[in-house]
Structure 1
Amino acid sequence: MKHDLPKKSRYLKVHIKEILYATNNLDQSNYIGEGTAGKVYRGVLSNKQHVAIKHIIDDGFVETFLREVRNLALVRHPNLVTLLGYCDYGDECFLIYELCTNGNLSEWLFGKNGVLSWTQRLEIAVDCARGLWFLHTYSEGCIVHRDIKPTNILLGPNYEAKLSDFGLSKVIDIGETYASSEVRGTFGYVDPEYQGDRQVNAAGDVYSFGIVLLQLLSGRRVINMNASKPMPLERMARSLTKGGSIVGFADPKLEGEYSAEAFKLTFMLALSCTGHKQERPSMNQVVEKLEEAHNISVNAKASYLHKAKD
């Protein structure tokens, strides 16, 4: 299978032997997880570099493969997972990424990996926001991710967050929109306005990020199907602004150890991200607000420790 790849990215091409060497012939013991386009394996290249390798075997996802190579081959940012190489072998495709050793955000929020502290959550949010800000203002055109969700937010050794999985991403002129023939994305994270008008632009990513922000605050899934009356997370959060208390929205795992001021600031920011498209903040404005919330939290903790010491 021959794919029309951009000439600038040809230096990334890796031989199939390197893929098989790195993963011990795609051994099940190296299996990490599975996405819509294929399975992901942990591997070690011949140069001793630890990597994650996505194996795409469904012909229907060749477009996904091409888009990731095209969009990520030359895009570099500390908060984007680095694409290190690709392999095009017969009917199979492989994408090679840097390995993020602490898994994905979903595992930490909903799994049994442990508990992320309040400041860690804010730092993860800042990292993601910076990554999206970079994508939306990229010099070659605005890159709209279109699938921001906890499983696509990977965590490095120091819990630094990196956006991953650019299979649905779309490059458009900055400030412009693209008319999509079909709604793409993940249930619960897709902008309702995009579902209606099919217009792809940066505001859709802002909405998805707002949902992730609500999940960082609450530790809840996008919709609780176990509840007697299931309600989307965004609607639940918004209902609390009409006379309710947002304290009850905080993740119980935090055990109250967070700055109330920073929590409210972040909560209101999340609601603005999920508001009407024309009223949503840009990602640089989101970064500023989150950095403010982080500074408030750090200063509050320092003040508390100082008083405790006295």
Structure 2
Amino acid sequence: MHAHKWHWTKCPKRAIFICIFILITTFNFAVSQPTSNDCVLNLGNSSWFSFSSCEGGDWGGFLYKKCCGGAFQEYLYALGQRANQTGQIYLDSTEQSNCLNTKHFEDNVLSCGIEKLTSGGGGCSGFSINDVHHRLRDNLRSLKEKCELVSSGDDWDQSCGSCMKSWEDIHSNNSESTKDESDICRFAVLVTLTSSRIEDETRVRKIYQCLGQDSDKVRSMYCNQQANLFVHRILQTGEHKRSIKIGTGICILIGGILGLVAIVLILYLSKRWCKSTFLQEKDASKCAMPKGSGNLAVPIKEVYSATNNLNELNFIGEGTAGKVYKGTLSNKQHVAVKHIINDGYVETFVREVRSLSYVRHPNLVALLGYCENKKECFLIYELCPNGNLSEWLFGKKNVLSWIQRLEIAIDSATGLWFLHTFPERCIVHRDIKPTNILLGTNFEAKLSDFGLSKVIELGEAYASSEVRGTFGYVDPEYQSNHQVNPLGDIYSFGVVLLQILSGKKVINMNMNKPLPLNKLAKSFSRVGSISTGFADPKLDGNYSAEAFDLTLKLALSCTALRQHRPSMEQVVIQLKEALDISTKASSSPHHSTQDLS
């Protein structure tokens, strides 16, 4: 028997090492897998949410996949539970990822739209329960009152229609909001309502079932219900008149026919009226162009002819509002055509026409025309053949020289300077970022996408507005005080300038603790290795160290506290100084590698 015992001393050393390696690898794999313990939400304890079915709805198109509606309901309810305990509404991206990647959820939950509900994106994404009670108080009260009556009985159509109407009205409180931004505010209100009804799962479920449905279907059911009630009341009011004797049978026949015609007419008109109460605000703003811009109108046939019927071979990009195509007009001019098909962004691009109809500058993309149709709108711009700055900074093949980068920065700053000092008013762009800086034939920079622009009238220091912009480029002070002025653009430009210098993303996610770009730049400046440590490796040392340091200090001053930021005029002057230094260094016979352009 002893002969069959295992003796470690007889095991070859190589086998021992292999065994140990397998044990360590298996342990690390097990530890690395996301578990429900990593998630801050209390998932899986609700008895009536079933995320394996497709019965949850797509919430009016908010979800990309209809069959993850059930999982979305459970996620919303879990947010409500957490909000009830902590007062916070949305998770940050890391917390959300830990929850959605657990085994509790199926794979179809990923990339279905839930990821849009994260904190840190500005607007309502950073709201707490207290913020909703303070800033969206009327919306919360209305949703609570209208959705309180939602039931599963015969009056479902009417009660759900009222709830849906209140839900959609949350968008109307801010005419500048995009659809996604409005949705984030709507769900902030809904999570707040859920947190106050957390013990009544049945009530919350009925509200979710109502709001998760197709809004057009609910609206139609509600209109039919209202019309039928309206006719029913008319018929009831005529009950007491039945005792009145009609002189002849002919009069009865004529009266009956006229009454029937009247009822049909009332039914038709009441449905039309009901539908208009839901859609009036939405339709009123669709492609409504400002007066005096008629000379920019382009026939729909010209648009389709220019793009070869929106041929995919002419597709050059896509944004949240629709696709962009290159094309050639009948006058042989090359253009970029933006096809707007998302109703939630129509108002945004109406503002773009208003901003660009009367404003012309070499460093602003030129609006050449627009086309409005019942179901779609088009904006027609000059074509910038070299794409946008982001493609050149972060693309794998494209490389901009040091001189080109300075010239692009000067052009962009000059365009902003022009906007900020526009006669009799100041135009604040509010969305300065590399993708909104287009590059012309000779790499001249042109600011584009004025959908979030804000006009400040002469004599006013600022305009108040909900926070708009792109995460990472929005001025922190603007996020806190909601005051729009040129200093917000200066901050955004400072971030872009740091990216021009470093070729880095706005937030470095490769570090143990994600760090904003301006803070990363400051950390390099403190250790004295500014140019060598922070410069874009693609430059390969071909730049003037003196000009680089000057430009970096300028970028940091743009992202400093508001009282320490330069004006765009001062920014242009200092950038031209950096360009002059670089040009002289490149032409000097004694320059070093660090002084090449």
- Residues 5-29 of structure 1 show CA distances to partners (whole Å, capped at 9, x for unaligned) of 3332110000110110011111111
Query: In 1, Cα distance between the equivalents of 2:521 and 2:396?
Result: 25
User: Separation in 2 of the partners of 1:222 and 1:13?
Assistant: 38
* Structure number with higher strand proportion: 1
Contact 2:287/2:377 (<8 A) preserved:
no
* Residue 563 of structure 2 is aligned to residue 278 of structure 1: yes
1:55 aligns with 2:339: yes
Alignment equivalent of 2:534, drawn from 249, 253, 274: 249
SS of the residue 1:8 aligns to = coil
| Structure 2 unaligned spans of 5+ | 1-282
Tell me if structure 2 keeps the 8 A contact 1:55–1:94: yes
Match of 1:259 in 2: 544
- The percentage of counterpart residues that share the same residue type is 69
C-alpha offsets along residues 204-224 of structure 1, whole Å, 9 cap, x if unaligned? 000000000000000000012
In structure 1, C-alpha distance between the alignment counterparts of 2:546 and 2:526, rounded to whole Å: 18
Partner of 1:177: 462
Contact 1:141 1:173 in 2 (8 A): yes
Q: Secondary structure at the match of 2:371?
A: strand
**Aligned twin of 2:429:** 145
CA shift digits 1:108-155 (9 cap, x unpaired): 000134210000000000000000000000114111000000000000
Q: 2:387 aligns with which of 67, 89, 103?
A: 103
Indicate the SS of the match to 1:240: helix
8 Å CA contact 1:107, 1:113 repeated in 2: no
Report if aligned partners of 1:79, 1:131 keep a CA contact under 8 Å in 2. Answer: yes
Larger radius of gyration: 2
Residue of structure 2 equivalent to 1:15? 299
- Residue pair 2:335, 2:383 contacting (<8 A) in 1 also: yes
SS at match of 2:407: helix
Contact 1:214/1:270 (CA < 8 Å) preserved in 2? yes
The one-letter code matched in structure 2 to 1:296 is: I
Instruction: Identify if the C-alpha distance between structure 1 residues 35 and 106 changes in structure 2 by more than 3 Å, giving closer, same or farther.
Output: same
Residue 112 of structure 1 corresponds to which residue in structure 2?
A: 396
Structure 2 counterpart of 1:286, one-letter code: V
Residue equivalent to 1:82: 366
Which stretch shows the higher mean deviation, 104-113 or 158-167? 104-113
Higher helix proportion (structure 1 or 2): 2
Cα 1:230/1:288, change in 2 over 3 Å: same
Select which of 517, 520, 530 maps to 1:233: 517
Alignment check: 8 A CA contact 2:495 2:559 kept = yes
Asked if the contact 1:37/1:64 (under 8 Å) is kept, the reply is no
Amino acid at match of 1:87: C
CA contact (8 A) 1:103 1:154 kept: yes
Relative to structure 1, the CA distance from residue 65 to residue 223 in structure 2 (aligned partners, 3 Å threshold; closer, same or farther) is: same
User: Which SS does the other structure have where 1:39 is aligned?
Assistant: strand
Contact 2:490-2:565 within 8 A present in 1 as well? yes
Deviation at 1:307, TM superposition (A): 10
Tell me the alpha carbon deviations over residues 181-209 of structure 1, each in whole angstroms, 9 at most, x when there is no partner.
Answer: x2110011111111111111100000000
The C-alpha deviation readout for 1:67-106, integer Å capped at 9, x for no partner, is: 0111101110000000000001112111000000000000
Q: Name the residue aligned to 2:444.
A: 160
Distance 1:113 1:157, change over 3 A: farther
In the alignment, structure 1 residue 196 sits paired with structure 2 residue 447: no
Which structure has the higher relative contact order (CA within 8 Å, separation 6+)?
Answer: 1
Q: What is the TM-score with the length of structure 2 in the denominator?
A: 0.50
Gaps of 5+ in 1: none
Structure 2 residue 461 is matched with structure 1 residue 213: no
Alpha-carbon contact 2:490-2:568 (below 8 Å) kept: yes
Q: 2:312 aligns with which of 16, 28, 48?
A: 28
**Contact between 1:38 and 1:56, CA under 8 Å: does it hold in 2?**
yes
